[in-house]
Structure 1
Amino acid sequence: MSAVTHTLREALRGRRPLAAVWWEACSVGRAARAAWRGPGRERDLVVQSLKAAGAALIAWAVAGVWLDDPMALMAPWVALVLVQATVYSSVRQAGQQFAAICVGALVASGAQAITEDNTGALVLSLPVLMLAANWSRFGPQGIYTATTAVFVLASGTTVSAAAVGHRVGQAALGAVIGVAVNALVLPPVHLRDVRENLAALARESGDLLHAVAADLRETQWDAQNAADWSRQAAWLQRRLDALYSARSWSRESLRLTSGPLRRLTRRPTGVPPEDEDQRWSRITGNLTALTRTLAVAADEHRTPVPPEGPDLDLYARLLRLIGDACHAEAGCLVGERDGADSGAATEETMEELHRRLQERLREHAGQGASRTAVLGALLLQAENLWAEIVPDPHEPDPHEPGPHEPGPHAPDHPHKPNPHEPAEQ
């Protein structure tokens, strides 16, 4: 299969339109396979799409078949668009959309009564309704003021209070069906996204630490390496923003949803506490500061001198172990427990590396300020990362599945460096 993919890739090289179609088809195929394999974002999208289609069909069956309404278009249309990503957003947007539809139907009917001509009514009503669509109270549903007017005038029915009431009633029927389907049939609960984003943030932080450690030990690192590290650190900030967004969606998805119905979704009932978001925000900031310090040290036009030889090797080994701890935490977040028994040995190794780096820092203190400043700054950032990332074996695991309340951050391990205390000189 890989040979076929490679052949197609070579054939499409340099043909941008065909290559774009090919990559899009590959993306769709990956999403379909992910939805088939098991729970995840792709399967959630499939469920939501089928629910929206089902809500529209139910609304059509009620309005068009059961009630035998010749103008049953409004009900399935509203039901379709109100199956939103959360029940709360469905209810909120149902109110906004219903108000927008009422305004559109009333203005269009009034314009038709004044002009007695559909074209003249469109000319009179659409500019007013498009301006009204920008009213903040309508939110993203404001455009339905104008589209409702188009539907009302295109239907060709005469203007009357009964006709306007009929159109508004169809919209209300569709809104009730759409919200009911979203709330009662596998209600969307976005708890998995928080855990997945935390795991990705931990994994990518470990990847960055491993990349820095490898470059410091195996290559003659320079400004280009430092620029690559800085780009990876900037990507971590975007991942942190995605975590905050997922946390917001998680909170909203629990509003107006029934506990028993949430359990039917077979999704995790608890997420890591919000304190974890703040902890990883600090870790991201420390990684950014570390890469910035290395970038300054690599700049030939700056005064600070980077450490060399044994100092770099010790520091790279320390970063490598901290990166291993990040990967271990990412595994815990997704249910993997491999290597959990090596925590004590890792802690002892890190303490030894930290002690030797402190000794090297004291030696450099008598040789010059520039090299001492860089090594001290790097060591401080490593201590900050160590204090935040490396788990204390005496602490309970905050990533155990199940609900738990966020609590204050546990105190530092007795042998773990405190980032708020000055390093030994």
Structure 2
Amino acid sequence: MALIAARGYFRSMPGAVERLRQRTLRAREFAGYERDGALLLFKSAVSGVAAWTVAQYVIVSPQPTYAPFVALLVVQSTVYRSLLHSVQYVGAVLLGVLAAGAASPLLGDNVGAFAVMLVAAVLVGHWRRLGIMGVQAPVAGIFAYSALMGDPETPMLWSIVSMVLLGAGVGLAVNLVLLPPMRCSTADRGVQELSTAVAALLQDMAEGLRAGIPDSGTVGDWRSRSRGLDSTVGKARSAIGHGAESISYNPRRMFRKHRPVAGFDGYRMMVETLARAAEQLRSIAFGLRKLLDDETGHTADGTFFRPYGEILALVADGVRYLGATAPDSEQHIRESAAACDERCERLAADAREKNAWPALGGLLTDASRLVEELSEAHARGAVRAD
């Protein structure tokens, strides 16, 4: 069995080497996940070595390992996250060390003192403001208690605290100096992908309806795609969040010629507008499904579907221009909105004449809301990457 496993391992080696080579090439040639990962690995190594060197050879601390340990934890993917983790980790460690420093002199070196210290540190670690670093409070308390056993002196306690501060400072400085990433392009791509997905679904629905009465399978596919937009919306929101976080406290933002929308508010408005549009599309797909199942004869000649498809085609054009910074984008959206309103009113009047409003009114209302959402969002400053 061991021989078979060894053969399988060596057979997989060429593939692993090739994947590593491809990732290295992507990291060198393109900005993205591979490059960010390689840069984070490099910065972690630099911060750890620098912190240990200063602690061991410059300060000559009796507890030098604390410094590189903290430095490695502090180096994160963004400056904001590094700063946040620095503050949280230093706070957690200080509280844990203080718990050990109080328990050892007051209660002595025994099981009871250790238990009291550990319980106190665990309780402190659940403080919400310490975030994910709260777990480090009892860890720091355990190490500090061990270091203080038999020698409960203040200099030893200060040595641990100073190494924690040194490690946090070195890690934060390295992350500030060595090319902290700015993920503005990630936010751009997230918004663009969502806009493209919504416009593509609208266009496909428009073409399908203009071709005549769609079959149930086609409408079912539209419903499935409209539900799938939730995932794309979530990815866009996450991309904007990461992009906004990456420029917070980032010194590189001062040297960029192209700066993102202040606070990413325009991106957020764009995504929330498209998220509501996705909800309207789900409602439209559901309404079309009900209309196909209608037994009152409103779908017999397809007189509703074709003009309704024209309305959705105009809405798709509006989505393509939504948030664009081109001078004529606002005019295109106004023209699309006016044409949609005119067609919706015409279809609504026709539906009332045929007593078909109960069956068709919901679809027309959804289309009107879509147009209204797009017009209002563009006027309020929704922005996309052109």
Structure 1 residues 186-335: aligned runs within 5 Å: 186-216=179-209, 221=214, 226=219, 228-258=221-251, 261-263=252-254, 268-271=258-261, 274-299=265-290, 307=299, 309-320=302-313, 322-323=315-316, 326=319
Offset of 1:163 from its aligned partner?
0.6
Q: Could you say if the C-alpha distance between residues 41 and 271 of structure 1 is closer, same or farther in structure 2, counting changes exceeding 3 Å?
A: farther
- Which residue pairs with 1:174 in the alignment? 167
Offset of 1:223 from its aligned partner?
6.2
- Which residue pairs with 1:362 in the alignment? 349
Query: Alpha-carbon deviations, 1:314-372, whole Å to 9, x = none?
Result: 33244245435545769x79xxx9xx999999998997787566545433332223xx3
Q: What amino acid is aligned across from residue 104 of structure 1 in structure 2?
A: G
- In structure 1, how many angstroms separate the alpha carbons of the residues matched to 2:347 and 2:228? 33
Q: What amino acid is aligned across from residue 307 of structure 2 in structure 1?
A: L
Select which of 51, 57, 64 maps to 1:59: 51
Select which of 49, 53, 65 maps to 1:73: 65
Select which of 342, 366, 370 maps to 1:381: 366
Q: State the identity as a percent.
A: 23
Query: Alpha-carbon deviations, 1:157-215, whole Å to 9, x = none?
Result: 63211110100010011111112122232234343333222112201212321343355
Q: What amino acid is aligned across from residue 71 of structure 1 in structure 2?
A: Q
| Count of aligned pairs | 366
Q: Could you say if the C-alpha distance between residues 217 and 363 of structure 1 is closer, same or farther in structure 2, counting changes exceeding 3 Å?
A: closer
- In structure 1, how many angstroms separate the alpha carbons of the residues matched to 2:197 and 2:231? 12
Structure 1 residues 44-123: aligned runs within 5 Å: 44-113=36-105, 114-117=107-110, 122-123=114-115
Does the CA contact (< 8 Å) of 1:222 and 1:298 recur in 2? no
- In structure 1, how many angstroms separate the alpha carbons of the residues matched to 2:104 and 2:82? 32
Does the CA contact (< 8 Å) of 2:200 and 2:316 recur in 1? yes
Select which of 137, 141, 159 maps to 1:145: 137
Does the CA contact (< 8 Å) of 1:111 and 1:124 recur in 2? yes
Instruction: Give the match's secondary structure for 2:304.
Output: helix
Q: What amino acid is aligned across from residue 385 of structure 1 in structure 2?
A: L
Of Structure 1 and Structure 2, the greater helix share is in 2
Does the CA contact (< 8 Å) of 1:297 and 1:304 recur in 2? no
Does the CA contact (< 8 Å) of 2:23 and 2:34 recur in 1? yes
Does the CA contact (< 8 Å) of 2:206 and 2:309 recur in 1? yes
TM-score, structure 1 length as denominator? Answer: 0.68
Q: Could you say if the C-alpha distance between residues 52 and 230 of structure 1 is closer, same or farther in structure 2, counting changes exceeding 3 Å?
A: farther
- In structure 2, how many angstroms separate the alpha carbons of the residues matched to 1:33 and 1:384? 48
5+ unaligned residues in a row in structure 2: which ranges?
A: 1-15
Q: What amino acid is aligned across from residue 312 of structure 1 in structure 2?
A: F
5+ unaligned residues in a row in structure 1: which ranges?
A: 1-23, 402-425
Instruction: Give the match's secondary structure for 1:44.
Output: helix
Q: Could you say if the C-alpha distance between residues 112 and 267 of structure 1 is closer, same or farther in structure 2, counting changes exceeding 3 Å?
A: farther
Does the CA contact (< 8 Å) of 1:191 and 1:267 recur in 2? no
Instruction: Give the match's secondary structure for 1:274.
Output: helix
Does the CA contact (< 8 Å) of 1:187 and 1:262 recur in 2? no
Offset of 1:275 from its aligned partner?
4.0
Q: Could you say if the C-alpha distance between residues 110 and 351 of structure 1 is closer, same or farther in structure 2, counting changes exceeding 3 Å?
A: closer
Does the CA contact (< 8 Å) of 2:55 and 2:163 recur in 1? yes
Query: Alpha-carbon deviations, 1:69-119, whole Å to 9, x = none?
Result: 3531111111111123433343333222212112212322444443425x6
Q: Could you say if the C-alpha distance between residues 329 and 34 of structure 1 is closer, same or farther in structure 2, counting changes exceeding 3 Å?
A: farther
Offset of 1:38 from its aligned partner?
1.5
Q: Could you say if the C-alpha distance between residues 71 and 212 of structure 1 is closer, same or farther in structure 2, counting changes exceeding 3 Å?
A: same
- In structure 1, how many angstroms separate the alpha carbons of the residues matched to 2:58 and 2:345? 81
- In structure 1, how many angstroms separate the alpha carbons of the residues matched to 2:196 and 2:294? 32
Q: What amino acid is aligned across from residue 76 of structure 1 in structure 2?
A: P
Offset of 1:397 from its aligned partner?
11
Q: Could you say if the C-alpha distance between residues 130 and 80 of structure 1 is closer, same or farther in structure 2, counting changes exceeding 3 Å?
A: same
Instruction: Give the match's secondary structure for 1:77.
Output: helix
Q: What amino acid is aligned across from residue 350 of structure 2 in structure 1?
A: E
Offset of 1:219 from its aligned partner?
8.5
Does the CA contact (< 8 Å) of 1:314 and 1:353 recur in 2? no
RMSD: 4.5
Q: Could you say if the C-alpha distance between residues 238 and 142 of structure 1 is closer, same or farther in structure 2, counting changes exceeding 3 Å?
A: same
- In structure 1, how many angstroms separate the alpha carbons of the residues matched to 2:37 and 2:369? 40
TM-score, structure 2 length as denominator? Answer: 0.74
